[in-house]
């Protein structure tokens, strides 16, 4: 039986991004390789999410019975000991065959590698747009990332774009890096009933037809370009834009533009949308828009394709990889180009049907079973090479 140790800070504390990637991977390993044992190692005393990885009630019972997923927490009064020695000893006491850092870091206590180590690198946003995270210690972050890449037997990049960044910026051999894409949460593979969609619309006050954006309202996500595009489109040809995501300080800039251009009735910010309701929100939309300035992958794009709606997204970084050849790729800083693409899709049913059909087919490239198989093969080959 293969036992994998996972660095689990983001898995245990983040409800989006790295956390979603981590929980989806653990759940898929359990689903497709139930004989594999996953040990989630927490390296600090922090608040933990209430839901870990999401299983049905019957699956939860099976997990408990099989001891397939175990969470190991540090002792509350011995954090320094844990960081320096405790977690490393856990690797041995739990019989861990390989250790996977799920988000850019390998803790100090694991760096003396008696077991093989792999690390996932999602993006190098801080190198491309340091101005979007001015309060972060970029030098410390980069030092930790370079260290993790150096001591790992294998680096997993979530896209070819991220792999190029690692090679070009850190001068790491491409042979050390394997691209394994992110898989989509299982919820998005289920087709919502017409009744569920109508109930979801009613619950969140959504219009009958709408455009959709999902993601934070940070400056990098570039929602303002979508709002400006909507302002360009003649009223007779517009659809309302539904925005699902956390507000940031930059939301005030977006709100000011909406107010100044009389778009209040055209932009809808539903109150907190539950994760369980997101698939229905996606499936009811006419077009999904994701015009970020940079992404390591762009999971909302894959969620939209899997949900069967056409996608307009940026022609930069990893987004073309996530979106595929039949999505509409645009310059994210050109509201005119975004507006033109919206009009094209809304006015041409055959184009829309083609984008939906081919986009959904392209999404099968990221099938959960395929991605999980690739990951398990990487674990096995890394263990084999480590012992030579």
Eight-class DSSP state of 243: E
According to the model, what pLDDT value does residue 275 have? 87
Single out the residue of 308, 270, 263, 314 nearest to residue 289, CA to CA: 314
CA separation, residue 43 to residues 6, 7, 156, 284, 326 (Å) = 10, 8, 21, 41, 43
pLDDT digit string, tens, across residues 101-113: 998 888 877 766 5
According to the model, what pLDDT value does residue 13 have? 67
Please state, in angstroms and rounded to a whole number, the distance separating the CA atoms of residues 371 and 27.
Answer: 12
Residues of the chain with pLDDT under 70: 13-16, 43-67, 73-87, 111-113, 387-388
Burial class (CB in 10 A: 0-12, 13-18, 19+), 341: buried
According to the model, what pLDDT value does residue 195 have? 97
Domains and CATH numbers, the chain: 3-183+367-386 (3.40.50.2000), 186-366 (3.40.50.2000)
Eight-class DSSP state of 219: G
Please state, in angstroms and rounded to a whole number, the distance separating the CA atoms of residues 295 and 106.
Answer: 22
Single out the residue of 1, 75, 13 nearest to residue 37, CA to CA: 1
According to the model, what pLDDT value does residue 87 have? 67
- Mean pLDDT computed over every residue of the chain: 89
According to the model, what pLDDT value does residue 60 have? 44
The alpha carbon of residue 249 and the mean position of all alpha carbons in its chain are separated, in whole angstroms, by 22
Please state, in angstroms and rounded to a whole number, the distance separating the CA atoms of residues 213 and 225.
Answer: 12
Q: CA dihedral in degrees (322, 352, 367, 116; nearest 10)? A: 0
Q: How far apart are the first and last CA of the chain?
A: 20
Please state, in angstroms and rounded to a whole number, the distance separating the CA atoms of residues 237 and 300.
Answer: 25
**Contact at 8 Å (CB) between 161 and 122?**
no
Which residue, chain included where needed, has tokens 């930069």?
Answer: 316
**Contact at 8 Å (CB) between 38 and 66?**
no
pLDDT digit string, tens, across residues 62-104: 444 446 787 776 665 555 555 556 667 778 788 899 999 998 8
Burial class (CB in 10 A: 0-12, 13-18, 19+), 99: buried
**Contact at 8 Å (CB) between 242 and 306?**
no
How many Å is the maximal CA-CA distance in the chain?
68
pLDDT digit string, tens, across residues 329-376: 999 999 999 999 999 999 999 999 999 999 999 999 999 999 999 999
Please state, in angstroms and rounded to a whole number, the distance separating the CA atoms of residues 213 and 251.
Answer: 14
According to the model, what pLDDT value does residue 164 have? 98
Please state, in angstroms and rounded to a whole number, the distance separating the CA atoms of residues 233 and 286.
Answer: 16
Residue 312, strand partner residues: 289, 328
**Contact at 8 Å (CB) between 29 and 66?**
no
CA separation, residue 127 to residues 139, 291, 312 (Å) = 10, 19, 26
For the record, the structure tokens of 170 come out as 């850190």
């Amino acid at each position: 039986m293969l036992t994998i140790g996972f660095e689990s800070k983001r898995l245990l504390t983040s409800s989006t991004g790295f956390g979603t990637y981590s929980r989806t991977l653990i759940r898929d390993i359990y689903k497709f390789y139930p004989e594999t044992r996953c040990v989630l190692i927490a390296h600090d005393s922090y608040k933990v999410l209430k839901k870990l990885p999401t299983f049905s009630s019957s699956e939860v019972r099976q997990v408990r019975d099989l001891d397939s997923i175990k969470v190991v927490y540090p002792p509350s009064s011995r954090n320094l000991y844990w960081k320096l020695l405790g977690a490393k000893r856990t690797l041995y006491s739990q019989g861990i065959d390989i250790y996977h850092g799920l988000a850019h870091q390998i803790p100090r206590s694991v760096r003396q590698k008696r077991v093989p180590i792999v690390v996932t690198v999602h993006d190098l946003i801080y190198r491309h747009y340091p101005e979007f995270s001015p309060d972060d210690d970029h030098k410390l972050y980069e030092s930790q990332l370079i260290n993790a890449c150096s001591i790992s037997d294998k680096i997993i990049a979530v896209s070819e774009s991220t792999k190029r960044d690692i090679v070009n910026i850190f001068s790491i051999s491409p042979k050390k890096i394997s691209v394994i894409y992110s898989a989509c949460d299982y919820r998005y593979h289920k087709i919502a009933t017409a009744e569920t969609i109508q109930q979801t619309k009613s619950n969140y006050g959504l219009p009958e037809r709408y455009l959709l954006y999902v993601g934070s309202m940070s400056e990098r996500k570039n929602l303002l370009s979508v709002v400006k595009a909507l302002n360009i489109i003649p009223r007779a040809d517009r659809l309302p834009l539904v925005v699902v995501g956390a507000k940031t300080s930059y939301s005030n800039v977006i709100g000011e533009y909406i107010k100044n251009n009389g778009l209040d009735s055209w932009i809808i910010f539903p109150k907190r949308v539950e994760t369980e309701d997101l698939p229905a929100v996606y499936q009811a939309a006419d077009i999904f828009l994701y015009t970020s300035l940079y992404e390591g992958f762009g999971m909302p794009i894959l969620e939209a394709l899997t949900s069967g709606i056409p996608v307009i997204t940026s022609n930069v970084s990893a987004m073309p990889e996530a979106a595929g050849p039949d999505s509409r790729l645009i310059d994210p800083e050109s509201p005119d180009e975004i507006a033109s693409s919206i009009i094209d899709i809304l006015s041409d049913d055959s184009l829309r049907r083609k984008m939906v059909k081919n986009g959904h087919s392209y999404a099968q490239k990221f099938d959960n079973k395929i991605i999980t198989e690739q990951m398990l093969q990487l674990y096995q080959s890394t263990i084999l090479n480590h012992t030579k």
